[in-house]
Each structure stands twice: as C-alpha cells, then as structure tokens.
Amino acid sequence: MMNIKGALVPFSALKFLGKKPHTVRYPLEKKDTAQRYRGFHFNDLEECIGCGTCSTICQNEAIDMIQLDGVEAAKGDSGLRPRVDNGRCCWCGLCVDMCPTGSLSLTDQYLHTSPDPDSYLLIPGKDNPEMKENISFVKSDSEPLLQFDRVPMRELDGAERVKSFAEVVLGYMQEEARAEATRCVDCGLCVTACPDHMHIPEYIGAIADADDETALKYIYDNNPLPEMCGKVCTRQCETVCAIGHLGEPIAIRWLKRFATEQFPDPAAILNPVIAESNGKKVGIIGGGPAGLSAGYYLALRGFDITIYEALPKMGGMTYAGIPKYRFPEDSLDKQIGYMEKVGVKMVNNTRVGKDISFDKIRKENDAVFVGIGFHIPYTLGLTGEDLENSIQAVDFLRDVNLGKSVDIGKKVVVIGGGNVAIDAARVSRRLGAEVTILYRRRVQDMPADWEEIEGAEDEGVHIVPQGIPLEVIGNNGKVKSIKYGMAEMVADDKGGRPRPVLIEGDEHILEVDTVIGAIGQEADYSFLPKEVMDELKIERGRMVVNELKQTSIPDIFAGGDSVNRTADAISAIADGVKAVEGITHYLLDE
C-alpha cells in the first residue's frame, strides 16, 4: 500500500490555527536591559572636574577633552569636559571605573542610527541630559581601579613628641614614596590651586618612575625652598586633588619633601647655570621666603643681589615663627647654603631703618624688593593685657627659636585659632606647661590646618571653643588668671560667617601663669622714610602691587605676607618668583 502519511502530516499543523499562542506576549513588552549594561555615556557636568583621566585611560582614544560653553575653569576644575566618539568606543567601561569623581557613567541606552557621521560624537551630559534616568553602569565600589587610600605617614607618638623639639613627621621611605606617587592620575588640577603653580604632576611622575633627580629639577624650576614647603606648606594643592574627591588626596607635600631629602646638596644635581652679570643691582629687604625666592632667581639671571635681614639668620617667619619640630633648622641651613652658592649675598643682623637706612639701600641698588612680612602682633584689647607674663605668640616663638630662655610657668592660655596660636600652644606643651587654647568661634571655624589642630589635641592641648576673653586679672603686676565668657554662634544676616555672641552671665575664670595672644599680625613700615610712605600705596596694612609685584613706586617691588592675603610660605615664594619677572622687565626692559 502506498504510504501517504508523509503528504498529510503537514496539514495537521492547521489545527493550531484556532489555538491561542501562549509563548508570545502581545502586545509586545519591551524587556529591561541587563543590569550594569554599558550603553551611551552620561556625565554629571556639575560633578565633573575636567581632570581628563577618562581621556587618558581610553585605549581607543575615543574621548576628547573640550571647552564647553557655560563651564568655567576654576581652582580644581580645568574647565574642560569629555566628548566621546561613539564610532571608536568599545564600551569597556574603563573611563567610568577610573573617573576620580564618579561623575561619568554608562546608561542602558544603546540605539543610535544616523547617516551623519558627526552625530556619533556625543558630549555626555550636555547632549543627553535625559539619560540621567537611565544610568546603569557606575564605578565599582568594591573593586576600585583607583587607589583611594594614602600611604600612611609615620609620626612620633603624641606623648613622645612633647618631650622634645624633635621633628614630628618622619618622612616617607623610598618604597612608601613610590607607592604614594603611583596613586596620582597625572591630571594637573593641583597646579590650579598652588599659588606658585609648581610642576606637580611632572615631579610626582618622576618620583613614581624612581627618577628623583628629574623630580628635583622640576621642583626647583619655580620653587627654591622646596624642602621647607615639603614640611610646612599649607598645601592648597591637596584640597583640590582629583583623588581627594572620593578618597584621600595624594600626599603632594610629603612627596616633595621626599624628593628634596634625597639629596644633601641640590647644587650637585641641578648644576645651576648662572647668567653672566648684567650689571644691575637689586637690594632685598627681609630674608623670608619671598625675599629668598626673588633673590635666588634674580641671581641666576645675573643680577647682583644683597638680602638684608634683621634676625641672625635668613628665613623670616619660617626661621623665627615656625617651631623646630615642624621645620628643623638644619633643613633651613641646607637651603640657605645652596642659595649662597648661587651667589646671593646675605647680610644678617641688620635691621633696615636702624642699622642701615632705606634710602641708602635704594640709592645703592637699581631696584628694591620689600618682603618684610607681618611681625607686629595685634593686641588683644583687654584690661590687664600689659601685665608681666602677658606675651605675644610671635615674640614667644621667636625667642624660643632663637634659643632664648622663656619662662612661661606651669599653666598657659593661648588666645586665637590660627596656625600661630597652635604653634604657640604646642611649643608651650614642649616647655612643660599645661595649655588651654581659647578661641571665639567653633573648632571647625579655626583657620589653622586641621592636622595642626589634631596634633595639638594629641599632645594634650585643651581647646575651649566659643570662649571670648574678657579680662586678664593680675596680682602684684603679674598675670594670675583670665576671665572669659562663653559665646553662642549667631547666624549673620548679611550672609557672612556666623558671629559669636556672648552668653550673659556664662563667665569663667581660669588660673594661668602666662597669657599668649595670637590673634594676628601686621606689617611694620616704620623703616620707610616719610616721602616713600606718602608715595607708597597701602591698603589695610598691605602694600598694593600690580601683576608683577611692582608697588606704586616703580623701583620698589614687594611680596610675601605684607602683600598677599593668604599669608603663607608658598604664596610668598610665588610673589618672589613673580617679582623676578617684574624686576627683570623693569631693569632690562625685557
């Protein structure tokens, strides 16, 4: 019999026509894309700092950093933003994993078709703001590709520190420094915050490459006192460090210190080229960081430089004000010694206005640089302030640093919240006193570095915030106690920072042997003759200068605390370096 089964079987499929399908969903539901899908980029333009790490890491060179309308460069922000060439991107996600702020992410959107090839260039965040809702791939918290933890710095223990003036911070060892330097993403945002705009990424890169000599060359290119900065700099660079957004910033200051400490004599590495004498003479008043910096670079350019300093040693506040446990004297000697080698003439123990007149210096030189700093302390304005043993922090620190014996007794109160106040408190601890700091605002309002505040607390300094001194009470002409009142913080109507207002009746008396005032300093212009004073423009105690640090009198330049508002060593160095340009321009018309 003929087998017709094969011919009929296909028709049996007809019976399914009447059935409802149960495997197909209708109408079609769109499935969710997979979790952590890697589609188009999205960038939070507010959070992005334009560090360019995404662009650096991209192996396909798909990411460009470009200028965008409405994004301004600022401290810690290059003003650039990434643009992605989606024709090149392979969606590996490295850019997201390496993004130091976490602003960059990938979305679950992946469809794009267009005949226009230029449309494949996408500025994430600007061209696709709506994709904020579609973010799917973000940086991994559990396995970060960036190293967020700083290599810890070895320090003396708090109890050990107060026994002597030994340096507290011990410095990095080779391997620690290399490890710390490799954390850097080489973006250069730190440069935006440094007053002196040092070549930070370059020298950190050199340290990471174990090439400390090159690092030293980069460092000395615009900072002749790097070992000092490596120890006491206010390190504004670290406040804007890209890694600092989600982790601990790179220890830029300590890496600089490491590089400079590798070489006992910088001259041997730098082989400075000193230009032939150009016949011009420049007198520098004040041997602080500003004066030394100006002197060093001017000497390299062939100027004849003489620095006049009232104290027995160069260094200004870094010598007389900063305690030795932060900045040891041999470290200062090393740097001054190097400058002498370059040919900077230094005249110590010479107070201008007393030992030598300003007019004489001005006559003998073609230009004068004034870097006199702030050495005259503000008075507290309290009754009993003129009692014996009521002293000023700057005088106290200077006397201690110069090796004079200072008797402060057993109990000390320091008034103020800046670095000078903390220094005075920590020095008093080392002299064996019980120390209280009285500050009118809260601890978080203190202008001092948090590390200094923490260090003081470790060493047993007692801080009384929101305490306003009212009266110094004496006995037989000597300080016996201090009366202070507690304050509450009242929000300022004008939008300023909160003001402390005394709480009625909440007054305390603290028995003390010594009161140390540290509420700020000002410049001493008494050395200037009247006709110069009349001509020199001074605003709120600071000399007014132009871009190149020239004052209102053309042959007088100025820098340092008595000019800038930040009043720290690195700003003074920056002023000195700028003044070099100004003086060269003025004298050589270059």
Q: Is 349 in the site for other proteins (CB under 8 A)?
A: no
Tell which one of 39, 124, 125, 201 touches other proteins (CB under 8 A): 201
Q: Is 127 in the site for other proteins (CB under 8 A)?
A: no
Instruction: Name 297's Cβ contacts closer than 8 Å, sequence gap at least 6.
Output: 224, 576, 577, 580
Q: Is 99 in the site for other proteins (CB under 8 A)?
A: no
* C-beta closer to other proteins: residue 215 or 251: 215
From 80-88, 431-439, 515-523, 555-563, span contacting other proteins (CB under 8 A): 80-88
CA 197 to chain centre: 11
CB 185 within 8 A of CB 252: no
* C-beta closer to other proteins: residue 65 or 320: 65
From 12-20, 27-35, 159-167, 192-200, span contacting other proteins (CB under 8 A): 192-200
Q: Is 202 in the site for other proteins (CB under 8 A)?
A: yes
Rounded Cα distance between 210 and 213, Å, is: 9
Cα-flanking dihedrals φ and ψ of residue 173, to 5°?
-85, 165
* 195-207 b/e (C-beta count within 10 Å ≥ 16 → b): bbbbbbbbbbbbb
* C-beta closer to other proteins: residue 121 or 347: 121
* C-beta closer to other proteins: residue 205 or 418: 205
Tell which one of 40, 42, 43, 50 touches other proteins (CB under 8 A): 50
Minimal distance, residue 195 CB to other proteins, in Å: 10
Minimal distance, residue 190 CB to other proteins, in Å: 9
- CA angle in degrees (0–180, nearest 5) for 494-500-501: 100
Minimal distance, residue 61 CB to other proteins, in Å: 6
Contacting other proteins within 103-122 (CB under 8 A)? 117-118, 120-121
* C-beta closer to other proteins: residue 81 or 326: 81
Q: Is 548 in the site for other proteins (CB under 8 A)?
A: no
Tell which one of 6, 8, 20, 61 touches other proteins (CB under 8 A): 61
- Sign of CA pseudo-dihedral 482, 429, 460, 253: positive
Q: Is 263 in the site for other proteins (CB under 8 A)?
A: no
From 53-61, 254-262, 452-460, 477-485, span contacting other proteins (CB under 8 A): 53-61
CB atoms < 10 A from the CB of 534, how many? 8
Query: Which single residue is written with the structure tokens 């030795």?
Result: 324
Rounded Cα distance between 79 and 72, Å, is: 5
Tell which one of 101, 222, 293, 584 touches other proteins (CB under 8 A): 222
Interface with other proteins: number of residues (CB under 8 A): 41
Minimal distance, residue 560 CB to other proteins, in Å: 20
CB atoms < 10 A from the CB of 180, how many? 24
Q: Is 39 in the site for other proteins (CB under 8 A)?
A: no
Facing residues of 463 across strands? 437
Q: Is 471 in the site for other proteins (CB under 8 A)?
A: no
Minimal distance, residue 277 CB to other proteins, in Å: 24
Q: Is 95 in the site for other proteins (CB under 8 A)?
A: no
Tell which one of 59, 164, 546, 552 touches other proteins (CB under 8 A): 59
C-beta pairs of 332-335 under 8 Å, 24+ apart in sequence: 332/228, 334/227, 334/264, 334/265, 335/224, 335/225, 335/227, 335/228
CB 510 within 8 A of CB 540: no
* C-beta closer to other proteins: residue 236 or 390: 236
Task: Extract the tokens encoding 51.
Answer: 């560090």
Rounded Cα distance between 373 and 398, Å, is: 14
* 242-254 b/e (C-beta count within 10 Å ≥ 16 → b): bbbbebbbbbbbb
* C-beta closer to other proteins: residue 87 or 152: 87
Rounded Cα distance between 107 and 257, Å, is: 43
Rounded Cα distance between 21 and 29, Å, is: 15
Task: Extract the tokens encoding 14.
Answer: 């007809």
Q: Is 229 in the site for other proteins (CB under 8 A)?
A: no
Minimal distance, residue 583 CB to other proteins, in Å: 17
Note if the bond before 27 is cis, omega within 30 degrees. Answer: yes
Minimal distance, residue 571 CB to other proteins, in Å: 14
Binding site for other proteins (CB under 8 A): 50-52, 55, 59-61, 64-67, 73, 78-80, 83, 85, 87-88, 117-118, 120-121, 186-189, 191-192, 197, 199, 201-202, 205-206, 211, 214, 217-218, 221-222
